[in-house]
Chain A
Amino acid sequence: MRPDILWAILILGILSYGCRISGFFLMQYVSVTPRVEAWLRSIPIALTGAIVAPIAFNGGPPEWLGLATAVGLMRLTSNEFLSSVAAVAVVALTRALPF
């Protein structure tokens, strides 16, 4: 067991947990005005959009079809499990097509 590796892992974990709790901790000192509430309320949609956008932008027809499947089915069923699995199936099938 190498102490330097052990220390590195220990520090990396503390930094990660620090990031996890800091935003939550600091927000208790921010008074939640309507504007702040509007900000907090729009973080989820902005963040999920930011995760997906480069995948759509850099992807090809399989990824576009997959995203369209996920979004379309989610709108119809509101079931994220079903929609995600179907989207993955669409991607796997279109990737298997010979062109």
Chain B
Amino acid sequence: MPSKESPPLLSPSSPPPFTLQGLRAGIVGARTLVPSVTMYGIAFGVMAAATGLKVWEAVAISAWVNAGSAQMATLQAWADPIPLLAVCLTTLAMNARYLLLGAALRPWFAGLPAYQSYPSLFVLGDANWALALREHADGRNDAAFLLGSGIVLWFVWVGSTAAGYVFGQALGDPRKFGVDFMLAAFFATMAVAFFRRAGGIAPLVVGMVTAIVIERMAPGPWYILGGALVGSVVCALRPDEGQPDHAA
């Protein structure tokens, strides 16, 4: 059953607050993600060095592209001369899920002026998106949260890329400390938070099964987009959705 306590998604007429307090809440809220982003950034720096990029090139990619999984995959396709079409398609494939993330932000961010919403989207990532929507689900709808958390993670990402490039090989195996599991743990906790406001168990189960099947069949990141798309669409297509009484 769709939970009735979730806040109405739709209030396009009234813009959400976008304040310094929201920005600060995002900065503080991002702390959970600093260890895993640091490790990820170090890994990218190490791999970029191994691929033969210059240090400023690695840092420029992290600063400008700012998308971990896409950058990792791009390195796999990187060569000299650069296979431009291949690296572009890889980046698009990896980042296609951002379409869903952005779509899901629309009801909340719709009332914001473009000079607030579009810069915020530059630092949109899976993790701070999940954190921000969790804030929103809890009734704190300050839209600057996404920007605040995203800026912190941007600095951590760029800094750890440089650190990984320069010092990477000197570090030991992070698997020993379980740091590679931090993101999985974080998204598991987010799943718990979202479960309360989702319309029943269907999107979760369908999303998980679809992701496992796609991950077995297709290499690369398609399983995330596929699971999210199929899981959410199936939920919306159920016959009891679309009834007027579900409109908050």
Contacts and interface: CB of A to CB of B under 8 A. Distances in A.
Nearest to B95: A19
B224 A51 contact: yes
Contacts of B50: none
Given A12-B91, A47-B227, A87-B185, A23 B99 contact: yes
A36 B102 CA distance: 14
B203 interface: yes
B235 A95 contact: no
Interface residues of B, number: 105
A96 B246 CA distance: 49
Given A16-B91, A45-B194, A83 B9 contact: no
A83 B189 contact: yes
Given A11-B88, A45-B203, A50 B231 contact: yes
6 contacts: A19-B92, A20-B95, A38-B236, A67-B184, A70-B192, A74-B193
B236 A54 contact: no
A27 interface: yes
Contact of B208 (A32, A50, A66): A50
Contacts of B175: 95
Contacts of A50: 207-208, 210-211, 223-224, 226-228, 231
B190 to A, nearest CB: 5
A97 interface: no
Interface in B203-248: 203-212, 215, 223-224, 226-233, 235-238, 241-244, 246-248
A97 B229 CA distance: 39
Contact of B195 (A45, A57, A70): A45
Given A4-B81, A44-B194, A88-B185, A23 B101 contact: yes
Interface of A: 4-5, 8-13, 15-17, 19-28, 32-55, 57-58, 62-63, 66-67, 69-71, 73-75, 78, 80-81, 83-84, 87-92, 95-96
B179 A88 contact: yes
A44 B185 contact: no
Interface of B: 2, 6, 9-10, 31-32, 35, 53, 57, 60-61, 64-67, 70, 74, 81-82, 84, 87-88, 91-92, 95-107, 109-110, 117-118, 121-122, 124, 126, 130-131, 133-134, 175-179, 181-195, 197-199, 202-212, 215, 223-224, 226-233, 235-238, 241-244, 246-248
Given A44-B194, A74-B188, A80-B193, A38 B106 contact: no
B242 A71 contact: no
Contact of B243 (A34, A55, A69, A96): A34
B67 A16 contact: yes
Contacts of A96: 176
A52 B6 CA distance: 24
Given A16-B91, A50-B226, A92 B235 contact: no
A73 B192 CA distance: 10
Closest CB pairs A-B (n = 4): A50-B227, A46-B231, A23-B102, A46-B207
